[in-house]
Amino acid sequence: MLSTVISAAYLTLWISSSVFTSAQDPYMDRALKLMSETPLIDGHNDLPWQLRQQFNNQLSNVDLNTLKTTHTNIPKIKEGRLGAQFWSAYVPCESQYKDAVRQTLEQIDVVHRMCEKYNETFMFATSSEEIMEAFNTNRTASLIGVEGGHSLDSSLATLRIMYQLGVRYLTLTHSCNTPWADNWLVDTGSEPSQHSGLSAFGKQLIVEMNRLGMLIDLAHVTEAVMNQVLNMSQAPVIFSHSSAYSICPHKRNVPDDVLLKVKAKEGIVMVNFYNDYVTCSKTAKISDVADHFDHIKKVAGAGIIGFGGDYDGVTRLPEGLEDVSKVPKVVAELLRRGWTDEEVNAALGKNLLRVLSQAEKVRDALTWKSPDDVPIRYDEVKNSCRTSYGYIPEEDHSAAADHSLSALSLLLTLATQAVITLSVS
């Protein structure tokens, strides 16, 4: 009898609390309803790096149900209604020319193992269809993005292997130049440009990513690289965790003219929550994050907007957005500002689903094309940690001729792909 009375009391309290919450914030009720219908797809979360730093990737030594030292754990994911997540396979720039490939493979591995260990919460996904399959079975679709081109060691074969392992986007640079692309620090003047954007091999890489169906992430590159990729990619591009430059003039953010080009390319900018990119200061509020959503919508429409919180990869987050459980507050704020259900659904996940689906269509239209097996020039990557097996001796001038033929092949491929774009659009 006592237990029945207690249960009834709890039920009454829950109902009263729900009514009170609804009366206080009907926008949150509406936000949660929309998030039950459309998956929230976040473009960037660095939990895998935290697993390396805190546990050396030993999942046997951590329980994601009770982990309290990260922005992300299973209870927070469920409270935040996270429908799909691109987990970042990130290793620092100091690993470039050393063990970057090995360390990146280990990060890819830890995501796979995380999905296996917690298979009631996570479902590993590689396609737009699998994202929806996970969402419809109440699991968080788990995709992988490699953050930094240095993770490839300038190898198209490594790019292909990572795609086979489930990687679905590559951030072309992190905070260092690669032998084929300039990073965002070049635009600050703190580092010199090495390639005026992309080198010839960098352009080869873009073509190969289109052929594979791997999304090109421009979150950490120079404006020159942004524009070069937007001009040549046959598939939509993404900014997995960047905000609006006009609101916060940080070089990690996206200028208005680039926003318009992303719109023309039918790509997506996934708004970053890091205070330094939100307000260009150490403090920020939810309203400041919403200002970036509003600005991008004003410039280029709601069709290019997404969420890219950068949780567990940053040190400062807005008040009220301290961990992944708080993301619905942003959705409620957008509704409070007059965003329609259709606009919110687009930003939640429909935009990203469209972008990924379009990249898959470009891939399917290029099945006739063979993998690019022309390597980067040895003199562009020569260092004390790299051997030269397979390369023509430097005194053999035919190597230069081979590279010239590669450049000609690239031009022919771009011309062919221009025709393909018309057929898949």
Which of 42, 147, 153, 187 is the catalytic position? 147
- Check residue 244 and report its DSSP letter: B
Catalytic-role residue among 42, 150, 153, 174: 174
pLDDT tens, position by position, 40-77 = 999 999 999 999 999 999 999 999 999 999 999 999 99
CA distance 239 to 267: 8
Domain 24-378+399-424 sits in CATH 3.40.920.10: no
Provide the CA 172 distance to its chain's centre, in angstroms.
11
Domain coordinates in residue numbering, the chain: 24-378+399-424
Could you report the per-residue pLDDT of 283-298, keeping only the tens digit for each?
999 999 999 999 999 9
Q: How many helices (H) and strands (E) does the chain have?
A: 17, 9
Which token pair is 302?
């709601």
Residue 397 bears catalytic tag? no
- 212 phi and psi angles, rounded to 5 deg: -75, -30
CA 334-76-241 angle, 5° bins: 55
The one catalytic residue in 150, 195, 220, 292 is: 220
Catalytic residue (choose from 294, 310, 323, 372): 310
Query: How buried is 25 (Cβ within 10 angstroms: 0-12 exposed, 13-18 middle, 19+ buried)?
Result: middle
* Residue 26, phi then psi, degrees to nearest 5: -65, -25
3-state SS assignment for residue 212: helix
CB 167 within 8 A of CB 214: yes
Annotated catalytic residue within 46, 217, 223, 323? 46
The one-letter amino acid code at 186 reads V
Spell out the long-range contacts of 380-389 with Cβ–Cβ below 8 A and sequence spacing 24 or more: 380/154, 380/179, 380/180, 380/199, 380/201, 381/153, 381/154, 381/179, 383/97, 385/97, 385/98, 386/97
130 carries an active-site annotation: no
Q: Around Cβ 119, how many Cβ atoms within 10 Å?
A: 11
List the catalytic residue out of 44, 195, 250, 295.
44
Which residues in the chain show pLDDT less than 50? Answer: 1-22, 395-401, 404-405
Closest CA to 238 of 415, 361, 104, 359: 359
Active site residue 174: yes
How far apart are the C-alpha atoms of 183 and 2, rounded to whole Å?
Answer: 66
Residue 224 phi/psi, 5-degree rounding, is -60, -45
Nearest to 201 by CA among 374, 370, 362: 374
- At position 312, the amino acid (one-letter code) is D
Q: How many C-beta atoms lie closer than 10 Å to residue 102's C-beta?
A: 12
What single-letter DSSP state applies at residue 302? G
Return the pLDDT at 422: 55
- Could you confirm whether 44 is annotated as catalytic? yes
Q: For the chain, percent helix, then strand, then coil, each to nearest 5?
A: 50, 10, 35
pTM here?
Answer: 0.90
Residue in 370, 381, 405, 332 with CA at minimum distance from that of residue 25 = 332
Count the Cβ atoms, other than its own, within 10 Å of residue 389. 5
Rounded to an integer, what distance in angstroms lies between the CA atom of residue 171 and that of residue 240? 8
| pLDDT score of 398 | 45
The H or E element spanning position 360 is helix 351-365
Which residue is catalytic, options 71, 195, 241, 250?
A: 241
Closest CA to 124 of 91, 152, 87: 87
310 given a catalytic annotation: yes
What pLDDT score was predicted for residue 24? Answer: 78
